[in-house]
Structure 1
Amino acid sequence: MSRSAPQSAVSRPRRGWAAGMSRPVTILTVDLEDWFHVLDNEATRGEVQWRRFATRLPEATAALLAQFSRHGVQATFFVLGWVAARYPEVVATVAGEGHEIACHSDMHQLVYEQTPQAFRADLAAAVKHIEAATGIRPTAYRAPGFSITRATPWAFDVLADLGFDTDCSIFPAPRAHGGFAGYGAGGPAMLRTPSGRRLRELPINYARVLGQPLVYGGGGYFRLVPGAVGRWLVRRQAYNMTYFHLRDFDSGQPMIPGLSRVRRFKSYVGIRGAAAKLDRLLDSGEVMTLGAAAATIDWDRVRIVDLAEGQAR
């Protein structure tokens, strides 16, 4: 495992400093899915519904890759197996440009609505499709909607069974899909699964503003939070996990049918200015892939979250 860098590697003090970290990290990640992969909405529930919509994925992916190339940055792409099976050339291009490949499930369904057997089958299918498209077997995973919760700790054992060593599914603040109660402040940890295996966890993070958790690093949160505020928070925190989608930057996408007024606001607020906001974030400091960030952390020193006991130490 990677050992801590000398203290001189820290350029400035930041809040949210976590055990095992010797330098600040801002992790750049993308959930590679199409504009219609929206959860908790009957019109976009599954493949039967998805077939009704025209893809925007190839062009939107190319635009984001070009933006990353202009800034000379690499990202981690959490790829849907469904996408890899249908657009293998797109996923191969992402890998070919040096970006890290990870897994975002096969069929983009909420984990807490699945049985362990269904989750295992979906995960195995995703690995198969991603590996066929890229020649890479992913070892990092993020659940759709961050939908691994305290009620589904078995999911981490399934991940370990299928060769995953890193998870990015924990959302440590309240949200529509549940969040992960009791995790504590967002930061790296070692998960001890119910069966006693270990997985590295790199979760979403948040900042406390007026005593309340504020997520600012991805999706609708990124689009809603003013850019200057978001960049200030990134500079202030030692650990930042971003998570973007193609639809966060695609101002020409159609309106998803069936969304409530609140969901429409969350889904479309700030899209027109999001690419420029991302440019300024990428200009403001160093970003890195998941693997690069994990290599800077001394995993022997991070806190342990024991899922069997429901405790952290």
Structure 2
Amino acid sequence: MSIKQTKICALTVDIEDYFHVAAFENNISASNWDAMPIRVDNNTSRLLDMFDKHGAKATFFILGWVAERYPQLIKEIHNRGHEVASHGFNHVKATKQTRIEFAKDVRDTKALLEDLTGAPIIGYRAPSFSIDKTNEWAFTELQLAGYLYSSSTYPIKHDLYGTPDWPQLAHLRPEGIWECPMPILNIAGKQWPVAGGGYFRLMPYWLSKRLIKRYIATTDSPYMFYFHPWEIDPDQPKIVGAPLKSNFRHYVNLDKMEAKLGKMLQDFQWQTLRQVYQPVFKI
């Protein structure tokens, strides 16, 4: 029996534009964002059509900044049967916010998205997976704000983020909120990322497919994939002056991403994070 018949995976999209990414935060001031050519609306609309074509549903973790400027886009995401969730307001890492700033950020974004959709917003993902041991209070603030789950940790070693010694499967935190870490594989004593993003663009599709199948076959937890709308946009403006590593991570294989994504949507069955994790959450 095929994976498509036996396992449903969680598809997630972080709705932000190319100039919002943390890799360029030292090159583009937030005060200049409105002067940048905006591409997130068109790229997200393309994704919605692609998902419809393949019968896929997704959870869209949306920046409040985007929702303020493109309210109809957020309503369309909701009306097409996808889950709308929060990605914070201005893509400020949780580790760079005070507790008071974070509490306001997640509450303001939740309120805006609920006003646009008319539905409860229960999910949150921190920009750049930026909840770790230094700010575990973030889970308390999410619970107090009315969120039910977070997907804000990545149990790998990385130069920009990572909680390698934290749980690798979905778990109920002491603060009363569910945390759904990004999926990893334990191979040869190391923790390997298999959740998408730049790793998916870098690897050949056959290898990504093999790793996803291995995760599904060997792990007692749903598989979850994530990416961004700018990753299907090879014609996006280039950011001048960014470090070489940041440039490589951001631009590698953008011209191949849409075709690889289409194959993945065809090879596996996709639903919202809330739907896939429903047996775990019991909500």
Asked if TM exceeds 0.5, the reply is: yes
Q: Please give the alpha-carbon distance, in whole angstroms, between the structure 1 residues aligned to 2:198 and 2:225.
A: 12
Q: Which residue of 1 aligns with 2:48?
A: 65
Q: Which residue of 2 aligns with 1:177?
A: 160
Partner residue of 2:83 out of 74, 78, 100: 100
Q: Please give the alpha-carbon distance, in whole angstroms, between the structure 2 residues aligned to 1:298 and 1:39.
A: 30
Local SS of the residue matching 1:217: coil
Local SS of the residue matching 1:297: helix
Q: Which residue of 2 aligns with 1:190?
A: 172
Q: Which residue of 1 aligns with 2:219?
A: none
Partner residue of 1:55 out of 34, 38, 57: 38
Partner residue of 2:27 out of 43, 48, 53: 43
Q: Which residue of 2 aligns with 1:75?
A: 58
Partner residue of 2:143 out of 160, 165, 170: 160
Q: What letter corresponds to residue 119 of structure 1 in structure 2?
A: F
Q: Please give the alpha-carbon distance, in whole angstroms, between the structure 1 residues aligned to 2:99 and 2:38.
A: 31
Q: Please give the alpha-carbon distance, in whole angstroms, between the structure 2 residues aligned to 1:127 and 1:12.
A: 38
Offset from partner CA, 1:176-230 (integer Å, 9 cap, x none): 333124214x32111112xxxx111211011234433221322211101211111
Q: Please give the alpha-carbon distance, in whole angstroms, between the structure 2 residues aligned to 1:189 and 1:134.
A: 28
Q: Please give the alpha-carbon distance, in whole angstroms, between the structure 2 residues aligned to 1:44 and 1:191.
A: 35
Is contact 2:196–2:226 with CA below 8 Å preserved after alignment?
Answer: yes
Offset from partner CA, 1:275-304 (integer Å, 9 cap, x none): 1111111111212211111113376xxxxx
Q: Which residue of 2 aligns with 1:125?
A: 108
Deviation at 1:255? 1.0
Alignment size in residue pairs: 275
Q: What letter corresponds to residue 14 of structure 2 in structure 1?
A: D
Q: Please give the alpha-carbon distance, in whole angstroms, between the structure 1 residues aligned to 2:18 and 2:48.
A: 17
Q: Please give the alpha-carbon distance, in whole angstroms, between the structure 2 residues aligned to 1:245 and 1:268.
A: 12
Q: Please give the alpha-carbon distance, in whole angstroms, between the structure 1 residues aligned to 2:207 and 2:116.
A: 39
Is contact 1:43–1:49 with CA below 8 Å preserved after alignment?
Answer: no
Partner residue of 2:209 out of 219, 223, 231: 231
Identical columns (%): 32
Change (3 A) 1:35 1:218: same
Q: Which moved more, 1:35-44 or 1:256-265?
A: 35-44
Is contact 1:143–1:168 with CA below 8 Å preserved after alignment?
Answer: yes
Q: Please give the alpha-carbon distance, in whole angstroms, between the structure 2 residues aligned to 1:298 and 1:143.
A: 19
Is contact 1:39–1:45 with CA below 8 Å preserved after alignment?
Answer: no
Is contact 2:215–2:223 with CA below 8 Å preserved after alignment?
Answer: yes
Please state which structure has a larger fraction of its residues in helix: 2
Q: Please give the alpha-carbon distance, in whole angstroms, between the structure 2 residues aligned to 1:34 and 1:99.
A: 19
Q: Please give the alpha-carbon distance, in whole angstroms, between the structure 1 residues aligned to 2:194 and 2:133.
A: 23
Deviation at 1:98? 0.7
Q: Which residue of 2 aligns with 1:248?
A: 231
Deviation at 1:123? 1.0
What TM-score, normalized to structure 2? 0.91
Q: Please give the alpha-carbon distance, in whole angstroms, between the structure 2 residues aligned to 1:216 and 1:181.
A: 14
Q: Please give the alpha-carbon distance, in whole angstroms, between the structure 1 residues aligned to 2:250 and 2:116.
A: 29
Local SS of the residue matching 1:119: helix
Q: What letter corresponds to residue 202 of structure 1 in structure 2?
A: C
Offset from partner CA, 1:127-178 (integer Å, 9 cap, x none): 1221222222311100000000111100000000000111100111012333
Deviation at 1:49? 2.5
Q: Please give the alpha-carbon distance, in whole angstroms, between the structure 2 residues aligned to 1:188 and 1:12.
A: 24
Local SS of the residue matching 1:112: helix
Offset from partner CA, 1:67-112 (integer Å, 9 cap, x none): 1011011100001111111110111111111111110001110111
Deviation at 1:249? 0.7
Q: Which residue of 1 aligns with 2:190?
A: 212
Local SS of the residue matching 2:81: coil
Is contact 1:149–1:181 with CA below 8 Å preserved after alignment?
Answer: no
Is contact 2:178–2:281 with CA below 8 Å preserved after alignment?
Answer: no
Partner residue of 1:281 out of 246, 264, 280: 264
Local SS of the residue matching 2:242: coil
Q: Please give the alpha-carbon distance, in whole angstroms, between the structure 1 residues aligned to 2:281 and 2:130.
A: 27
Local SS of the residue matching 1:145: helix
Local SS of the residue matching 1:159: helix
